[in-house]
Amino acid sequence: MVRASYTSSSSTTNNMLLNAVNIEKSYAGVHALRDASFYLRAGEVHALVGENGAGKSTLIKVLTGAVVPDSGEISLDGAKIIENSPSISKSLGIAAIYQQPALFPELSVAENIAVGQETAGVFGIVHWPKRKQRAKELLNRIGARIDPEQIAAELSMPQQQLVEIARALGANARVLILDEPTASLSEDDTRNLFRVIRELRASGVGMIYISHRLEELPAIADRVTVLRDGQTIETHEMSDISSSQLIRLMVGRDLSGVFPKREVRRGDVVFELRGFGSREAGIRGIDLTIHAGEIVGIAGLVGAGRTELAKTIFGLVPPDAGVMLLRGMQITIGHPSEAIDLHISYLPEDRRRHGVVLDLPISSNITLASLKDLSGFKGMNFRREKEIAAEYTRRLGVKTPAIYNAVSTLSGGNQQKVALSRWLVTQPAVLILDEPTQGVDVGSKAEIHELMVELAEQGVAILMISSEMPELLGMCDRIAVMNGGTIAKMFERTDATQDLILSAALGH
């Protein structure tokens, strides 16, 4: 039963819907939240921003009842929530949609929407036509053209997000929390999501919008609150603050070096592809060179073949055409272990699924690609593993109390630093980075960019895939644009513009 006081409160002014005041939460003496406050109005989109580790996730967990705060007060419609839990929060109309949708992949769309909402009929019999019709109505409400009978595993990422929104609306959600909703979406999918958000706002739903993509906030948010080190720093009307001002509030300093590109002398060709292709990967006729000290970007729309190219180079997908050369010598890579032996490293796009092993300690994650060098006749050299892990957590600024903590305890930006550390330990000659700053905060993004420049200055050849145009234009010496599984155009840094890149990506 929900234990709540329904005494009238002054917080109901200005159409107040949800109010969190002076929230405190510590873990083992470390403050995750300290005196954090946040309020949401009905019918508004309120952005919540901050670096990874700033306390955003903990605050959301408190609001949804997944975490019990040490102190503070939460109220809904001016009524104090005395006791909270995920089920109570859901019954009050508070729903969260996370970056990785939490659908049951083997169930249909209609079944997923019905989970936790539907009550069984007589003798526990499900009324299938009614369930399907209910799902169809909810999907139509948000303009989602999705078959209620389709299996969830067959849905794209944006479709899964829409199903989760439909499920939340079916539970009469009045507060909708969107955590990095556009991190994996194309521009078209993002525009569609924004359309749905605006329609929900017009119907009176209050939304908390968490995103590291500061450039999209003016298009969707009404207000913005900045968290730093677990504290609420400031709240502003979105129209009254610029991205540079937000960055200063988030990191506590001016951050002019988000793209700290420095000129590096282009050395000899380190890596080359000639007529490279793979029918299985859907790529063909790739001609590409990367010099020592050079950062070459790969641009293109979703489905253009960018990630497929990276996987084929690294031996995850077999090539069937063309040649690869490393320092002028032809090489063949049939397995990732062969790529690692050749000092070719690959940081994959999906950090949580392929970049790190969440349940393993930080130390084990960092040395995972170097086990051959750390093991011998006497077994694993754990002392050396500890030294390497300590060195790289310090070098990359991984925020953690101990290197033996599980990677799952880290924020997204710190997980990405651990994933990157694993490949730096191998001393790569060629480093392939697939969306290296996706879903990380602006401070971590600047640190990763700075590290890329340092590696280039050391002579590493870097191939970077990115969907963020400012990142490509700000960090790359050359930009290859892919379309239809091949490189359609190559631009020098001085010639590249957003319009030219987009035009080439569209095949114009």
- Runs of H (alpha helix) within 78-176: 86-91, 109-114, 128-141, 157-170
Alpha-carbon torsion (391, 394, 398, 403), positive or negative: positive
Query: In this predicted structure, what is the pLDDT of residue 255?
Result: 54
Alpha-carbon torsion (323, 328, 329, 332), positive or negative: negative
Query: In this predicted structure, what is the pLDDT of residue 254?
Result: 58
Between CA 338 and CA 330 the distance in angstroms is 14
Q: In which residue are the tokens 């000639």 written?
A: 274
Query: In this predicted structure, what is the pLDDT of residue 328?
Result: 95
Range of the domain at 386: 359-426
Q: Determine the residue type at 331.
A: I
Query: In this predicted structure, what is the pLDDT of residue 5?
Result: 30
- Beta bridge partners, 263, equal none
Radius of gyration of the chain (CA): 24
Q: Tell me which residue of 356, 367, 472 sits closest to 407, measured CA to CA.
A: 356
Between CA 347 and CA 302 the distance in angstroms is 18
CATH number at 473 reads 3.40.50.300
Q: Directed axis angle between helix 382-396 and helix 412-424, to 10°? A: 120
| pTM (2 d.p.) | 0.64
Q: Are residues 99 and 214 in the same domain?
A: yes
Q: Are residues 242 and 284 in the same domain?
A: no
Q: Are residues 334 and 450 in the same domain?
A: yes
Q: In which residue are the tokens 């319009």 written?
A: 499
Query: In this predicted structure, what is the pLDDT of residue 305?
Result: 93
- Runs of H (alpha helix) within 271-354: 306-313, 336-341
Q: Are residues 325 and 461 in the same domain?
A: yes
Q: Which of 407, 426, 445 is the last residue of a domain?
A: 426
Residue 215 resides in a domain? yes
Residue 257 resides in a domain? no
Between CA 40 and CA 26 the distance in angstroms is 24
The answer to whether residues 379 and 406 touch, using CB atoms and an 8 Å cutoff, is no
Residue 351 resides in a domain? no
Query: In this predicted structure, what is the pLDDT of residue 324?
Result: 97
Q: Which of 410, 426, 442 is the last residue of a domain?
A: 426
CA atoms within 13 A on the CB side of 450: 14
- DSSP class of residue 120 equals P
Residue 348 resides in a domain? no
Residue 262 resides in a domain? no
Residue 353 resides in a domain? no
Host H or E run for residue 483: strand 478-483
Q: Are residues 128 and 273 in the same domain?
A: no
Q: Are residues 331 and 204 in the same domain?
A: no
Residue 5's contacts (CB-CB under 8 Å, 6 or more residues apart) are 79, 80, 82
Q: Are residues 285 and 179 in the same domain?
A: no
Q: Are residues 443 and 414 in the same domain?
A: no
Query: In this predicted structure, what is the pLDDT of residue 253?
Result: 61
Two tokens, residue 178: 């969107």
Query: In this predicted structure, what is the pLDDT of residue 37?
Result: 95
Q: Determine the residue type at 298.
A: I
Residue 354 resides in a domain? no
Q: Are residues 331 and 288 in the same domain?
A: yes
Successive 10-residue mean pLDDT values, the chain, 508 residues:
33 73 85 92 95 85 93 93 90 85 87 75 70 89 86 86 86 88 77 88 93 89 93 95 86 67 91 96 96 96 90 95 96 94 92 83 90 78 88 88 88 86 93 88 84 94 91 94 95 91 84
Residue 416 resides in a domain? yes
Q: Are residues 49 and 113 in the same domain?
A: yes
**Domains identified in the chain, total number:** 3
Residue 142's contacts (CB-CB under 8 Å, 6 or more residues apart) are 162, 165, 166, 169, 196, 199, 200
Between CA 239 and CA 481 the distance in angstroms is 34
Q: Are residues 168 and 311 in the same domain?
A: no
Q: Are residues 43 and 141 in the same domain?
A: yes
Q: Exposure pattern of 66-76 as b/e (b: 16+ CB <10 Å)? A: ebebeebbbbb
- DSSP class of residue 53 equals T
Q: Which of 395, 426, 457 is the last residue of a domain?
A: 426
